Structure 1
Amino acid sequence: MDVSKIHGFNFPCPIRFGAGASKELTDYLKANKLSRPLLVTDGTVAELSFFKEIKNDLQQKGFSVEVFSEMHKNPIKSDVLKGGDAFHETGRDCIIGIGGGVALDVARAIVLRVNHKRDLFDYDDLIGGDKYVTEDVPHFVTIPTTAGTGSEVGRSAIISEDESKKKRILFSPKLMARMVFADPLLTMELPPFITAATGMDALTHNMEAYLAKNFHPMCDGIALEGIALIANSLETATHRPDVESRAKMLLASLMGAVAFQKGLGVVHSLAHPLSSLLDTHHGLANAVNLPYGMQFNYEGFEARFDKMADAFGLSKNNGNRVVDHLFEMNDRLGLPTKLSAIGVEAKHIEELSELAEADFCHPNNPKPVTRADFKNLYEKAL
C-alpha cells in the first residue's frame, strides 16, 4: 500500500485517503465557498498539536474559526444542544468533526440539530424518528483521528439521555459527511492503549458484521478484508507504529463502519451497558467482551469462523482457533481479558444484563440472545 500518495475514492461518501490528506481541507472549503467552520472535537484533541495546526492554518488563510469541545466521554443530549447553540450564536456555515467516535457522533448530531427543532430524541431511529429529518443540514466534513469506530463514514450518531444514560440512535442519510479526509499521520501520536482499544473496536465491527444474520454479501467481503488488515497491522500500530500500519488500521476502521450497515450483535450489546453504567471506554468494553461473544456464536456458524480464521492468517478450516486467538491478541496488546479488571463487580451483573437485553444490536446477532444468556456471558467474563 503506497500511503505516501493521497488517494480519492467514493464509498459510501467521497474520501481523500493518505498521509497528509488533511492538508487539503482549506482548498476544499474555499472550493465550496465556505468560510466560517465550527470545528467540533473533544477536549483532549483540542489541545493536541495537529489540531492547533489545522485551526491555525484555517485562520491564516482567512477563515473565521470557532471550536466546540464541550462533550462527555460518552456523549449526552445536552452536549449536542450546546453545540447547536454555538453554531447559531457564532454564525457558522459548516461543521468539521475532528476526532474519534465521540467527537464525530457529537458533530453529526449537531448537524442534525441546526435546522431540526423538535426534541432531539424525537429523531431516534428506533422509534421511526428518521421520518422527521426533513430539513436541509449544514455542510459536514469529517477528519478521523482514531482507527476504531469508522464514524467518519457513518450516517448515525449514538447519543445518551442525560439522566438515564440510555443510548439513542439519530440516523439519516443526510447526516453522511460530504467529504472525509482520512489522514494516518493524525493517528501517529495515539498512545498504545487507545490504539489497541480502538483497534479492537474496529475488529469487533468487522467480525460482528460478518456474522450478522442479514443478507449482505458485499458487506461480508468488506468485513473479511477489514479483519485481514487488522490482523496484519494492529500489533505494529500499537507497539511500533509506522505510517503503513496506521494507514491499514484507518482503512480497516472505515471498512468496519461500512460493513456494519449489515448489523452488529451480542458483543456490542454486552459492551454498551458498560459505557452507560460504568463509563467504560467503548473500544475497551468491546475488546474484553469480544472473545466471549464469539465463543457464544461459534456453534452452528463454524463455516463462517473458518473464513475469519483464514483472514486472521490461522490457516483454512481453523475456526475453532478464533476465540483463543482473540484472547491472545488482547494479551499481546496489553488489554485485559476479564471484566473485573475494568471495574465490573458481581453486583453489577443483574443491571448490566437488563440493559444488554434492551440494547438494539443483538437482534441482528446470528443466534438469539436471552437475558439469561447475557447474565451467563457477563459471569464468564467477570
Structure 2
Amino acid sequence: MIFDRIHQFNFPTTIRFGAGAVKELAAYLQNNHLKAPLIVTDPTIAQLPFFKRIIEDLGNKGISVEIFSDIHKNPVKSDVYKGTDAWDQTQRDSVIGIGGGAALDVARAIVLRVNHREDLFKYDDLIGGDIYVTNDVPYFITIPTTSGTGSEVGRSAIIADDETHQKKILFSPKLMAKIVFADPELTIDLPPFITAATGMDALTHNMEAYLAKNFHPMCDGIALEGISLIKDALETATNRPDLVSRSKMLLASMMGAIAFQKGLGVVHSLAHPLSSLLDTHHGLANAVNIPYGMRFNIEGFEDRFQKIARALELKDETGEAVVKYLFDLNSKVNIPHKLSDIGVRNEHIETLADLAFADFAHPNNPKPVSREDFKALYLSAL
C-alpha cells in the first residue's frame, strides 16, 4: 500500500487516510456549512505546533474556533460537563475531537450531552441507557493523534465517575463521527513512551477482540490483520519512526477499535482499575498486563492462539510463544514487565481485584474470570 497519498474508505464512517489528510479539514467544514466548531483536545496537544497550525488554517478560512482542553488523562464526568458549558456559552455548530483516546472520548460524550441533558450516566450502556439516546446530536469529526484506542472510528465513550472512579460506557450509533481525518504525519513526533504505550493498547484491542467469546467472524479477520500490522511496525515506530511504520500503526489502531465491537476481556479489566485508582496511562496498564492475561486464556483456546502466533509469524505456534513474544516486545519498546515498576503496591491488590471483577470488559473474555483470578493475576504481575 502507498502511504504517501490520501486514500478514502468507509467502515461505515468515511475515513480520509494518509499523509496530509488533516489539511482537508477547513475545506470540508466550508463545504458542509460549518463555521463554528468546538474543538476538544487535551492540554498537551493544545500547545503543540501541529495543533496551532490546524487552528491557524481554520482561522485563515474564516472559521470561528473555540478550544476546550480542560480534561483529565483518564476522563471523568466533570470534564464532559465543563465541555458542554463551553458549547453552550459560545454557540457552536459542530464538535471536532483532536487527540488520543481521552480527548476523543470527552468529545464524543459532549456530542451526546448537547441534546441529552439528564445525568450523563443515565445513558450508560451497561444499564441499557443507550435506549435514551433519542435526540439528534451535533455534527462530529474526529482526528486521531495517537495509534492506540482507535476512538476515532468508535461509537462509544468511556467516562469515569469523579468520586467512585468506576468507568461507564456511553454508547449509540449516533455517536459515530461523520468523517475521520486519519493523518499519520500527526503521529510522527509522538515521544517513544506514548508510541509504545498506545501501540500496545492497539495490540491488546486486536488480541482481546480476536479471543472474545462473541460470534463475529468479520471482526476476527480484522483483528488478525491488525496484529500482523503491529508486528511489522510497533518497534520501528517507537525507536526509529518513519511514515510507513506510523501509517501501519494508525491503521492497526482503527482495526482494533472496529474489531472490539465483538468484545474485550481480562486484560482490559485488569487495566481499567489501574487507570481509575492510580491514574496509570491506559495503554501502559494494558501493556504490562497483556502477557499475564493472555497466559490465563491459553488453556482451552489453543487453536485461537495458534492463529495469533501465525499472524505474528512465530516459529512455535503456541500460546506460550505468544506470551514470550509479548514480554519480548515490551522489552524492545522499553515497557516494564512488572506492575511494581509502575507504582502498584501490595496494599492496592484487594481494591484492584474488586474493581476488576466489577469491570465491564471481562464478561466477554473467552473463559470466566473470578475475583480470585483477578487477585492472582495482579499478584503474578506485581
Deviations 1:46-89 (A, max 9, x none): 00000000000000110011100000111111110110110111
The answer on whether the counterparts of 2:295 and 2:320 sit within 8 Å (CA) in structure 1 is: no
Q: What is the DSSP-based 3-state SS (H/G/I as helix, E as strand, rest coil) of the residue aligned with 1:71?
A: coil
One-letter identity of the residue aligned with 1:250: L
Moved over 4 A (4+): none
Tell me what 1:13 maps to. 13
Q: Following the alignment from structure 1 to structure 2, what is the Cα–Cα distance between the partners of residues 68 and 334? A: 33
Secondary structure class of the residue paired with 1:260: helix
1:276 aligns with 2:276: yes
- Name the Cα RMSD after superposition: 0.7
Partner Cα separation in structure 2 for residue 316 and residue 294 of structure 1: 16
Corresponding residue number in structure 1 for 2:357: 357
**SS in structure 2 opposite 1:180?**
strand
Deviations 1:176-197 (A, max 9, x none): 0000000000000100000000
SS of residue in 2 equivalent to 1:158: strand
How far residue 317 of structure 1 moved from its aligned partner, in angstroms, is: 3.0
What residue identity is the alignment partner of 1:66?
A: E
CA separation in 2, counterparts of 1:69 and 1:124?
24
- How big is the shift at 1:316? 6.5
Provide the rounded CA distance (Å) in 2 between the counterparts of 1:284 and 1:12: 30
Q: How does 1:105-184 map to 2 (within 5 A)?
A: 105-184=105-184
Within-5 A mapping of 1:56-67: 56-67=56-67
How far apart, CA to CA, are the structure 2 residues paired with 1:337 and 1:13?
A: 37
8 Å contact 2:38–2:96 — kept in the other structure?
yes
Partner of 2:236: 236
Give the partner amino acid of 1:280: T
Mapped to 2, the partners of 1:340 and 1:208 lie a distance apart of: 24
Structure 2 partner of 1:341: 341
Query: CA offset at residue 173 of structure 1?
Result: 0.3
Distance 1:38 1:25 in 2: 14
2:302–2:318 CA contact under 8 A, matched in 1: no
Q: Is the 8 A contact 2:148 2:201 kept in 1?
A: yes
Contact 2:275 2:285 in 1 (8 A): yes
The answer to whether the 8 Å contact 2:38/2:68 transfers is: yes
Indicate the residue corresponding to 1:101 in structure 2: 101
Q: Distance in 2 between matches of 1:249 and 1:186?
A: 12
Distance 1:130 1:306 in 2: 37
Aligned to 1:305: 305
CA-CA distance at 1:315 after TM superposition: 3.7
Equivalent AA in structure 1 for residue 140 of structure 2: F
For residue 379 of structure 1, what is the aligned residue in structure 2? 379
In structure 2, runs of 5+ residues without a counterpart are: none
After superposition, give the CA deviation of every residue in 1:102-151 in whole Å (9 maximum; x if it has no partner): 00000000000111111111111111111111111000000000000000
Q: How many residues align?
A: 382
Alignment of 1:25 onto 2:25: yes
What corresponds to 2:209 in structure 1?
A: 209
- Percent identity, aligned pairs only, is 72
Q: 2:314 is matched with which residue?
A: 314
The yes-or-no answer on 1:245 pairing with 2:237 is no
- In 1, distance between residues paired with 2:220 and 2:73? 31
Provide Cα deviations, 1:183-239, integer angstroms capped at 9, x if missing partner: 000000100000000000000000000000001000000000000000000000000
Aligned: 1:291 with 2:271 = no
Q: Residue in 1 aligned with 2:2?
A: 2
SS in 2 for 1:261: helix
Given that 1:270 and 1:374 are in contact with CA atoms closer than 8 Å, whether structure 2 keeps it comes out as yes
Corresponding residue for 2:263? 263
Q: What is the letter of the counterpart of residue 36 of structure 2?
A: R
Secondary structure of 1:170's counterpart equals: strand
Q: Which segment drifts farther, 172-181 or 3-12? A: 3-12
Distance in 1 between the 2:68 and 2:320 partners?
A: 47
TM (normalized to structure 1)?
0.99
Partner of 2:42: 42
Amino acid in structure 2 at the alignment position of 1:370: S
The residue matched to 1:92 in structure 2 has which SS?
coil
Task: Answer whether contact 1:75 1:106 (CA < 8 A) is retained.
Answer: yes
State the distance in 2 between where 1:380 and 1:368 align: 18
Question: Aligned with 1:360: secondary structure?
Answer: coil
Answer whether contact 1:12 1:258 (CA < 8 A) is retained.
Answer: no
Structure 1 gaps of 5+ residues are none
Task: Tell whether the 8 Å contact from 1:37 to 1:94 is kept in structure 2 after alignment.
Answer: yes
Q: For residue 91 of structure 2, what is the aligned residue in structure 1?
A: 91
Give distance in 2, aligned partners of 1:50 and 1:146.
13
CA deviations over 1:279-321 (Å, ceiling 9, x no partner): 0000000000000000000011111111101111104634430
2:257 partner SS: helix
2:295·2:319 contact (CA, 8 Å) conserved in 1?
Answer: no
User: In 2, are the aligned partners of 1:307 and 1:316 still within 8 Å (CA)?
Assistant: no
> Secondary structure of the equivalent of 1:193?
helix
- 1:90-112: CA deviations, max 9, x gaps? 01000000000000000000000
Contact 1:302–1:320 (CA under 8 A) maintained in structure 2: no
Counterpart of 1:67, as a letter, is: I
